[in-house]
Chains A and B, each alone.
Chain A
Amino acid sequence: MAPATESIAFGSPARELEADQFGMWVFIASEALLFGAVVLAYLVSRWHFTAAFAAGSKELSFWLGTVNTAVLLTSSLTVALAAIGVEKGEGPRRVRLLLLASVALGAAFLAIKFTEYHEEFSRGLVPLFGLPFRYSGPDIHGGALFFDFYFLLTGLHVVHLTAGMIAIGGIAALWTRTPAAGRRRRTTAIALYWHFVDIVWVFLYPLLYLVNR
């Protein structure tokens, strides 16, 4: 008898793994077009309001943004190590710890991100939800547009990161009740998603924090 698959749709575990990976890639493609469209709108606006976007970018915390990039790149390492471990059939405890470490690094990223948000809120740099906007840069209109894009892009990224943390946390929580083949498929699929969220930030960091610094 052939080895068991989780779904009866697949003839072998290898086919099931392949289908899972492809499904995640198709999902990532749709996500890439979502972020790609917003980034394109950002670039067109930056083309029109070059000076205002440069001035707005200087208001962001260069150091918090840079540290957060390092935190997220490190979380990609722990996820990659988990995926390598699960493929090689390493100790399940170790792989689970690596997954939990990734969730912790994601939480650290969120903590730093919300520290930034709080600072920007207290300085009146949030042109959303009718909040008082006290930005005193050279071009108020273009500046407000920069902060609109900043909160839209980082907010969208935060939502994706949070979803990834919940998914990874869920996989780790159900770890002992999941058969080995299921652990492998879930870990490799969520690793792809997490690396994609990392790549999005790799582009957001220079686009938002490093405009003509």
Chain B
Amino acid sequence: MTETRSAFLVWLGLLVLLAISAGTSRLDLGWANPAINLAIAGAKSLLILIVFMHLRRKSTLADMAAGAIVLWLAIMYTLVGADYLTR
């Protein structure tokens, strides 16, 4: 599959995911609404990161920088969450 074709397929996939999150947000699914929204935002980001930003393909340096983002955000969110969610 050519790179151009996969770029168009990812774009279509992103629009389908957008339609799913917009569509499900019109239904009242209780706790599932934010869970679906978060899962779809995560899936969209992975598509963009892996295909458009070439993560896991080009260089170990880029993977390390992306890994550092996840690590530092995880530390910040875990520590703040541990405080606010257990008060």
Q: Which residues of A contact B (CB under 8 A)?
A: 18, 21-22, 25-26, 28-29, 32-33, 36-37, 40, 44, 47, 62, 66, 69-70, 73-74, 76-77, 79-81, 84, 88, 191-192, 195-196, 198-199, 202-203, 205-206, 209-213
Contacts and interface: CB of A to CB of B under 8 A. Distances in A.
B7 A206 contact: no
Interface string B38-71: 1011001100110111000011011001101100
A18 B49 CA distance: 17
Contact of B53 (A32, A195, A213): A195
Contact of A81 (B7, B21, B37, B41): B7
Nearest to B80: A40
A25 B11 contact: no
A25 B62 contact: yes
Contacts of B25: 62, 206, 209-210, 213
Most chain B CB atoms below 10 A, which of A40, A66, A199: A199
Contact of B61 (A21, A74, A88): A21
Contact of B45 (A28, A37, A79, A199): A199
Interface string B10-23: 11001100100110
A22 B62 contact: yes
Nearest to B71: A29
Interface majority SS (helix, strand, loop, mixed), chain A: helix
Interface residues of B, number: 41
Closest 9 CB pairs of A and B: A25-B65, A206-B37, A77-B11, A210-B25, A22-B61, A213-B25, A80-B52, A32-B69, A73-B14
Contacts of A77: 7-8, 10-11
Contacts of A198: 48
Given A36-B76, A198-B48, A44 B84 contact: yes
Contact of B68 (A21, A29, A74, A196): A29
A16 B25 CA distance: 46
B52 A202 contact: no
Contacts of B48: 76, 195, 198-199, 202
A108 B33 CA distance: 29
Given A33-B69, A40-B76, A66-B18, A22 B45 contact: no
A211 B38 CA distance: 11
